[in-house]
Amino acid sequence: MSLSSSHRQSDSVDSTLTVNSDDVVNNTFDSWDLAILIKDAKSIIGRTDFSNQPSSGGATIDLRLMLESMLDNAPADQGKRWLAGAIHTAHHSKEEGRVQNAALALWQNLIMPMQAVGFENIVHSSSVTSSLTPTVDQTHVVVENADRAEQKEFAAQLMIRENYRCIVTRYVTFDAPIPPEDVTENVSYARLQASHIIPLSLNSEKTPLMNIGQTWDMLKSWTRINPEDYTGGKITCPENGILLTAHEHEGFGKFKLWFEPVLSAGPGSAPLANTYSVHVWKHLLSNRPLVRGGGPIQVRFSDTEMHMGRRIPPPAPELLKIHAAFSKVLHACGASEMYENWRDDLRKPGRVIDDGSLSYLGLRLHALTV
């Protein structure tokens, strides 16, 4: 995998996007028509020679497709403007390889860390002893200082909100307190997990191993998320959670399952409240009969259930949109295949591990926890 070769360029790569969001959006490109700005940025991308593209196990990340998909799928117009402006800035610097370095910086500091955090949440997810206390995704990579009581409360609220069912498959958790008279359909049971939509926290008390400004600036600039809204116990708010089977939790964490808002009418119309279509990529739903009709299934999150006298809110649309954006970018550029090939390659007997690559990945993952 060419992670290490990209890392050797990190000094030049990291400097490319230090024209941070305030510089690019508010000063240089704020007055540009967004459609024209994006069109010109794509023209620049099309003329760029991407000769140094990360690869592993026969899979290669297409940096050109990554940039184009990020322009198309940024969760907010401000994120599109920031990225298009950064591409223009890199191009007009007249330094050779500047646009390619910008793409590598985005992959190293944003795309790869987010992908790895989601993947590691699956690998290190804790076991469950009772279906009434579903597994909450945990990992040594993501520092979540929410205590056990907060985690338990998080899971309990998701159980109540979704009536003890996986929102996608409708499988019911074992021992769900549902009276027999309320069961009006054939019911299947499964172990359920309380999954975080955005599995990040900024409340680590550990000393950072490196400057994390690039990672968080890119995340905030492209997604327009305010990370401070999800620090500490806030990471376990119901707005940042969905209830899934273990299989669907894996697909969601690997960005192979995501949610798209269902529109009330045609393109450009307002979305239906809390209603989404479920999209998958190389992921078979555990409830196979659901997909026999063809096309994505639709789900609706409840917004009327109560817990301890308070309404349990549904998932935040902006968080589901961010997750969907990463999903589409990862699949468009081939990052999903490359990362999984890399993980598989590391487990092969006699594999000589590239310490430089692993060290760099570890640093970027740590950056997301501070």
Which amino acid is residue 340, in one-letter code?
E
CA distance 200 to 117: 8
How does DSSP assign 184-252, residue by residue?
-S---EE-EEEEESS---S---SPPSS--HHHHHHHHHHH---GGGGSGGGGGSGGGEEEEEHHHHHHH
Query: Could you tell me which residues come within 8 angstroms of residue 258 by beta carbon, excluding any fewer than 6 positions away?
Result: 252, 278, 279, 320, 323, 324, 327, 328
Task: State whether residue 38 is helix, strand or coil.
Answer: helix
Chain segment 195-239, per-residue pLDDT in tens: 999 876 543 444 343 445 677 789 999 999 987 777 667 788 999
Indicate the residue type of 361. Answer: L
> How many other CB atoms are there within 10 angstroms of residue 308's CB atom?
9
Tens digit of pLDDT at every position of the chain (370 positions)? 333 233 333 333 443 444 444 444 444 688 889 999 999 999 999 999 999 888 777 788 999 999 999 999 999 999 999 999 999 999 988 788 999 999 999 998 899 888 887 876 665 443 333 333 344 433 333 334 456 788 899 999 999 999 999 999 999 998 898 776 666 667 889 999 999 998 765 434 443 434 456 777 899 999 999 877 776 677 889 999 999 999 999 999 999 999 999 999 888 899 999 999 999 998 989 987 776 666 789 999 999 999 999 999 999 999 999 999 999 999 999 988 887 777 776 666 655 444 344 444 544 444 444 3
Question: 300: helix, coil or strand?
Answer: strand
Task: Report the pLDDT value the prediction gives residue 229, as an integer from 0 to 100.
Answer: 79
pLDDT at 180: 65
Q: Tell me the pLDDT tens digit for each residue of 282-320.
A: 898 998 777 666 678 999 999 999 999 999 999 999 999
Token pair 């050109």 in the structure block, residue: 64
Residues 6+ positions from 40 with CB-CB distance below 8 Å: 84, 88
pLDDT of residue 20: 46
- The pLDDT value given to residue 337: 82
pLDDT of residue 183: 66
**pLDDT score for 185:** 67
Q: What is the pLDDT of residue 104?
A: 92
Cα-Cα-Cα-Cα dihedral sign, residues 347, 351, 352, 357: negative
Side-chain-facing half-sphere of 337: CA atoms under 13 Å: 14
Tell me what pLDDT residue 161 has.
Answer: 98
Distance, CA of 251 to CA of 111 (rounded, Å)? 17
Residue 122's pLDDT is: 64
Answer yes or no: are the C-beta atoms of 297 and 290 closer than 8 Å: yes
pTM across the whole model: 0.82
Q: Where are the domains of the chain?
A: 3-121+342-367, 131-203+234-325
Question: Taking the CA atoms of the chain, what radius of gyration do you get in angstroms?
Answer: 21
% helix, strand, coil for the chain, step of 5: 50, 10, 40
